[in-house]
Structures are given as structure tokens and as C-alpha cells.
Amino acid sequence: MRSRDGNLNFSLSICSIIFLLFNFTPLKADEYLISYRYVVKDAMLYHEAFHIAKAMKKCVGTPQKELILDINHENDLKIIISQNFDTFIEYLQKLGFHIKHQERTQELQNISTTILTLQTTCFEVDFNDTFVKITPLK
């Protein structure tokens, strides 16, 4: 149907632009909760736990310095991190671990326990074609 002044295409394009402006939501990175715990007893690795879960609600915080990892045609964050685990752990060390150390001597034998813990932290994860960008929120 034409308008009286004959500008049918112009009026339709204005309506579609307004529709797109109000319904357009920019792509947002996925958010994951990551925690890590490393236990050493008497200078030997006793336990290591690394957990990743997709955040169920929006995380609040300001983005910190990001880490960029190659994805090697993977879309699973846990596999990508396991392929680059040493790099990821060095990155976590810069964020800061909570360290608890106990040492005691019992019957002339030294007993020590060290626990490194990364408290559950929210990370923005942005997948690209060739890399993934991981940014912690604090």
C-alpha cells in the first residue's frame, strides 16, 4: 500500500530502523565461574581440583586484564584451558591465590601442608574464530 505522497519504501525503512534500534542487543561474552584448589602435603601433590561452570545469573564487576588463548578448533572452555593449563595457572597467580600453610614437627618428623586456593571468580569468556579471550571480573 502506498502512502499519499508516494514514499512507501522510505516509511518502511524508517519503521525497520526503529524496530532494529529497540530490539538490537549487542553480543555479550559468556560468563563462567572458575575455582581452583591445589593441596601439597609433605612436598608431594595431594589433591588438585579445577572447576568450571557457566554462570546462571549476570556477574557484577569491572573487567581486569584479559588472557588470550588459542582455541585449536575447540568450543569447550574446559578443554581449551586444559590444553593451555600452565599458561592459565600463571595467569591465575597474577590474580592472586589464597595461601594457607601449616608446618609442625612431631617425633622428629616434619609435617607440612600447603593449600593454594582461587576463590570462585566470575570470568567473561569471548570465543572468536581463532582464539578465546578470558577476562576476570572483580
DSSP 35-101: EEEEEEETTEEEEEEEEEEE-SS---S-B---EEEE-TT---HHHHHHHTHHHHHHHHHHH--EEEE
Residue 2 has pLDDT above 90, yes or no: no
Distance CA 84, CA 78 (A): 10
Reported as a single tens digit per residue, the pLDDT across 5-64 is 555 555 555 555 555 445 444 456 789 999 999 999 998 999 999 999 999 999 998 999
**Helix, coil or strand: residue 13:** helix
- Single pTM value for the model: 0.72
Reported as a single tens digit per residue, the pLDDT across 90-118 is 998 888 889 999 999 988 889 999 999 99
The predicted structure's pLDDT at residue 135: 94
Domain spans of the chain?
27-136
Strand partners, 45: 40
The predicted structure's pLDDT at residue 20: 47
**Helix, coil or strand: residue 124:** strand
The predicted structure's pLDDT at residue 54: 94
Residue 80 has pLDDT above 90, yes or no: yes
Q: Is 61 left (phi over 0), alpha (psi -120 to 50) or beta?
A: left
The predicted structure's pLDDT at residue 18: 56
The predicted structure's pLDDT at residue 108: 87
